[in-house]
Structure 1
Amino acid sequence: MAAAAVPVRGHAQRQRLDLLLDWKPAPTYAGFYVAREIEAFKRRGLDVRIVEGHGVNVAAEMIAAGKEYWIGSSSASATAIGRSRDLAIRSLAVYYRRTPTVLYSRTEDRIDAPRNLLGKRVGLVQGSTTVDEYHALLLANRLDRTRIKEIDVDWDSKALLDRKVDALLDYEEITPAQLQSQGNRIAVMRIADFGVRIYSLNLLVNEMAWTSSPQRKQTAQLVEEAVQEGYQFVRDRPAEAATIFCRLFPDFSPRYVNLSMQIVSRQLALPIGNQTRIGWEDTLKTLSSLRLLARAVSAEEVAIYD
């Protein structure tokens, strides 16, 4: 949805709102934090507190419950799967229209196409949406899963650095970028380049808040506009966005944040936040092929369009 010009409102008029992210702070979510720091929320009369989450599925369930939080981020997969289970959630905007998940490996191992995984050891974090996307990659490229050794790993790169696995999965701007910023020779294989057509990071709203409360609907639209402005800033000015993010989270290495923010910037397609029926239909088709949906879901059930 296109951002509208909003007049500056007085402090006394600002509405307090808790916005739930699906995970801990990372450059992935820079648009939310930047929106707050450049006062995109404030200029729309909102006083937003950004809350760290505990995973995309948890975020979707909490927003569906509508008790503590009724708006926040999740992933397209969690949104669609949640809708198939009749969770009261709808997607208001999609920021990553291509999944940022990559298989990352040591450069010398030359894993740059799906066929190179045959005979290799792949580390999987059980319960992660990246595992479902990995399965989608194998299906899209007709690879025999039995010819790949799958090993359970934790959410870090230790197994790869210790040579216990040949490849791991993560968003490109997170662990792979961290390793590269530290001087490690790391190669990435973007699964979106090999037939996995699926939306990723999106903005969720509680369905009842949207349909039954005109005030919350208006607030949700203002949040969407502000976050759009934040991600537009990230896309257009990644170095400045990195500076803002480093100021907020000084424990992150500036070198990592700068590299990661460039990756995030490239990931953001114009217009920022745009979602289409075709995009959602592709996502639903992929999830259905993996038998992840509890029932058939239409693109109209999942998302709110212009």
Structure 2
Amino acid sequence: MQKIFIALALALITLSCTSTDKTQVQFILDWKAQMEHAGFFVAKQKGFYEQEGLEIEILEGSGAPTSARVVGNGTYKLGVASGSATVMARVRNIPIVSLAVINQQTPVVVYSLVEKNITTPQDLIGKSIGVNIGGTKHREFQAFLRHQNIPEEDIQLMGMSEASPAPLLAGQVDAMLGYTEDQPVTVELQGHAVNRLALSDYGIDVYSTNIIANESFLKENPDLVKRFLRASLRGWQHAVDHPEDAVAAYMAARPESDEAFNRANFKYLIPLLQSADTQQQGLGAQTEAKWQQTQDILHSLDMIDQKVDLNLLFTTKFMPE
């Protein structure tokens, strides 16, 4: 009898330990950790993943196309990519699926010092623009020019790195391409007023940062994926509602980063997370119409040579109810 009691006690202890175990998952970002990933750090710091029975390790990536590839080949099961990288991956039969779109529109802007008086697309004619020739921003800018009926030869494109606004501040160019929450913020923090022309305001309305999953993993682990997505979007909603927590969570993970920049950065990031679709469906919303528009623009720029079945490209069935 005593042996039976001991056996039952051990079984209960084992069950208790098992019930508190967390499923460990590695989640790869599309680039080095930045404020544009703050919602994931909030979800981790606030215990949202833990409450879903998950232990998430957030790993830095080396570009959205690379993240799409390593999630597609199963090295990682979940990750962050971009709208264009997701479409281009599916065109190449890389098996990834978009679960949610964080950045509802492209963050690409043409930015300039206010004294240049560049406030409309037509003001760019005859101006010098710093651009990484052939890069993604350049391709989106080409679509922007076409949409505005501005011949590219009417713009003086200056090939250079877009990572730093130094050429703009040195007067080498009239304007540069950048991300609204990044390079222009650096200029503003140095005391300069900046004008932005957001490509999304002029017809280049494409999806940007999104959460992706390996297709096989998605089919085999639907409950885990649903819990992961619920916690992630909860983190993003908290970040939007409490920007100070977003900055704190990110800086806890990256204490070497600049707090003033992070605060200003997130102020410009929040509008990118919101759209008419998110007003109806919540953060992370994605629609067939917007994905179709995204791949139509990519196709018009010859970034893809064919279009993909949207049923393979994204799913909304794992979104929180």
Q: Same fold (TM over 0.5)?
A: yes
**Does 1:298 find its partner at 2:309?**
yes
Partner of 1:79: 86
**Partner of residue 23 from structure 1, selected from 8, 11, 31:** 31
Partner of 1:117: 124
Contact 1:71–1:206 (Cα < 8 Å) also in 2: yes
How much does 1:127 deviate?
Answer: 5.7
**Partner of residue 228 from structure 2, selected from 223, 230, 247:** 223
**CA displacement 1:83-130 (0-9 Å, x = unmatched):** 111111111100111212111111111222222221112222246422
Return structure 1 stretches of 4+ with deviation > 6 angstroms: none
How much does 1:305 deviate?
Answer: 2.4
Partner of 2:164: 156
Please report the TM-score for the alignment, with normalisation by the length of structure 1: 0.90
Distance in 2, Cα, partners of 1:11 & 1:248: 28
Contact 2:98–2:313 (Cα < 8 Å) also in 1: yes
| Structure 1 stretches lacking a partner, 5+ long | 1-8
Contact 2:128–2:158 (Cα < 8 Å) also in 1: yes
Matched ranges for 1:200-239 at <5 A: 200-211=208-219, 213=220, 215=221, 217-239=222-244
**Does 1:288 find its partner at 2:299?**
yes
Matched ranges for 1:206-285 at <5 A: 206-211=214-219, 213=220, 215=221, 217-269=222-274, 270=278, 271-285=282-296
Partner of 1:103: 110
Partner of 1:43: 51
**Partner of residue 64 from structure 2, selected from 42, 56, 64:** 56
Aligned length in residues: 294
Distance in 1, Cα, partners of 2:177 & 2:70: 26
Pair 183,141 (structure 1): closer, same or farther in 2 beyond 3 Å? same
Distance in 2, Cα, partners of 1:174 & 1:148: 24
Partner of 1:92: 99
Pair 143,255 (structure 1): closer, same or farther in 2 beyond 3 Å? same
How much does 1:12 deviate?
Answer: 4.3
Partner of 2:4: none
Distance in 2, Cα, partners of 1:121 & 1:299: 39
**Partner of residue 145 from structure 1, selected from 130, 141, 152:** 152
Pair 12,195 (structure 1): closer, same or farther in 2 beyond 3 Å? same
Distance in 1, Cα, partners of 2:235 & 2:186: 23
Distance in 2, Cα, partners of 1:179 & 1:21: 26
Q: Counterpart amino acid of 1:14?
A: K
Please report the TM-score for the alignment, with normalisation by the length of structure 2: 0.86
Distance in 1, Cα, partners of 2:174 & 2:74: 42
Contact 1:281–1:298 (Cα < 8 Å) also in 2: no
Distance in 2, Cα, partners of 1:58 & 1:126: 20
| Structure 2 stretches lacking a partner, 5+ long | 1-16
Q: Which has more helix, going by share of residues?
A: 2
How much does 1:64 deviate?
Answer: 1.0
Larger Rg: 2
**CA displacement 1:230-268 (0-9 Å, x = unmatched):** 110121111232233233323222221111112222222
Identical aligned residues as a percent: 28
Distance in 2, Cα, partners of 1:32 & 1:178: 24
Pair 252,11 (structure 1): closer, same or farther in 2 beyond 3 Å? farther
Contact 1:177–1:259 (Cα < 8 Å) also in 2: yes
Distance in 1, Cα, partners of 2:135 & 2:223: 33
Segment of structure 1 superposing worse, 77-86 or 153-162: 153-162
Q: Counterpart amino acid of 1:204?
A: I
Aligned partner of residue 41 in structure 1, secondary structure = helix
Distance in 2, Cα, partners of 1:203 & 1:138: 29
Contact 1:83–1:302 (Cα < 8 Å) also in 2: yes
How much does 1:11 deviate?
Answer: 8.1
Q: Counterpart amino acid of 1:236?
A: D
Pair 148,268 (structure 1): closer, same or farther in 2 beyond 3 Å? same
Q: Counterpart amino acid of 2:145?
A: L
